[in-house]
Amino acid sequence: MSAPPGVCPDGSRQRVTRAEYCVIACAEAWRGDGEVLASPMGPIPSIGARLARLTFSPDLLLTDGEAMLVGPDGTPEGWLPYRQHLALVTGGRRHVMMGASQLDRFGNQNISCVGDWERPARQLLGVRGGPVNTVNNPVSYWVPGHSTRVFVEKVDLVGGVGYDSAAAAGPTATRFHRIPRVVSNLGVFDFATPDRSMRLASLHPGVTVEEVAAATGFGLTVPDDVPCTREPSASELAAIREVLDPRGLRDREVKG
């Protein structure tokens, strides 16, 4: 379904919540990935990865975050020792969906500090696995609160490597570098542009292009015809509500 100019209508007959559209958008990040390890961070990405495994990506590997491979319901399916986890990372057999305190137009991510590195206004998590993740395997991003504080013209510190930073570093950084998508509570974004800058790929129903533009601190590429984030099927919706997230954790992360 395509939107009229500037708006994605909220016309679902299934009364799909915004959080459920976000789950669907996150799940789609792993479509076609095959037998790779999904590493989602946060409730909605985790529900999305499990939904993908349950439906259209049955070869996807899921982990409990410690030492086990698990099924969509958490049932142990195998052993994943840390050394094997690292082998998957460095071999490109993992697709991470990380969070971001800041993201810029080229997909550079910051979760380390806000302000100057020497005297930051806010100390955050640190770069964590961002550099290794982004130069070795696909990395997507999840932002539950889309705002100009997150989507910034230039990140204060590059933790996750964006397309311009990878290009500047050369072939060792670009060989396996890929950012499939960014999902926020407003829409889905990719980098399918000539200069690899961020593009609005779809709007969640009820969201307007103007709303996204006002919440973004840089100029997005906006196609003439912006599609809506796809509707979940009845079976997907039942799986989300009854199997994967019966406690409604998704609605605590994204309201409305």
pLDDT band per the 50, 70, 90 thresholds, residue 14: confident
Q: Taking 60 as the threshold, does the pLDDT of residue 202 lie above it?
A: yes
Are the beta carbons of 104 and 145 closer than 8 angstroms?
Answer: no
Task: Give the per-residue pLDDT at 3.
Answer: 47
Distance CA 97, CA 130 (A): 11
Alpha carbon of 24 to those of 50, 60, 203, 250, 256: distances in Å?
Answer: 11, 16, 12, 12, 16
Task: Give the per-residue pLDDT at 127.
Answer: 80
Task: Give the per-residue pLDDT at 13.
Answer: 64
Task: Give the per-residue pLDDT at 1.
Answer: 45
Distance CA 189, CA 25 (A): 10
pLDDT band per the 50, 70, 90 thresholds, residue 67: confident
pLDDT band per the 50, 70, 90 thresholds, residue 2: very low
Task: Give the per-residue pLDDT at 29.
Answer: 97
Distance CA 136, CA 133 (A): 5
E-only strand ranges, the chain? 37-40, 61-63, 68-70, 76-79, 94-98, 102-103, 109-110, 113-114, 122-123, 139-143, 182-184, 187-190, 199-203
Write out pLDDT tens, residues 106-124: 999 999 889 887 788 887 7
Q: Which range has the worst mean pLDDT, 11-15, 69-73, 90-94, 230-234? A: 11-15
Q: Which domains does the chain have, with CATH numbers?
A: 18-247 (3.40.1080.10)
Task: Count other C-beta atoms under 10 Å from residue 59's C-beta.
Answer: 10
163 Cβ partners below 8 Å, 6+ apart? 106, 107, 177, 179, 191, 196, 197
Write out pLDDT tens, residues 133-162: 899 899 999 999 999 999 999 999 999 999
Per DSSP bridges, beta strands 37-40 and 94-98 are: parallel
Rounded to the nearest 5 degrees, what angle is found at the Cα of 80, between the Cα atoms of 74 and 84?
150
Per DSSP bridges, beta strands 102-103 and 139-143 are: unpaired
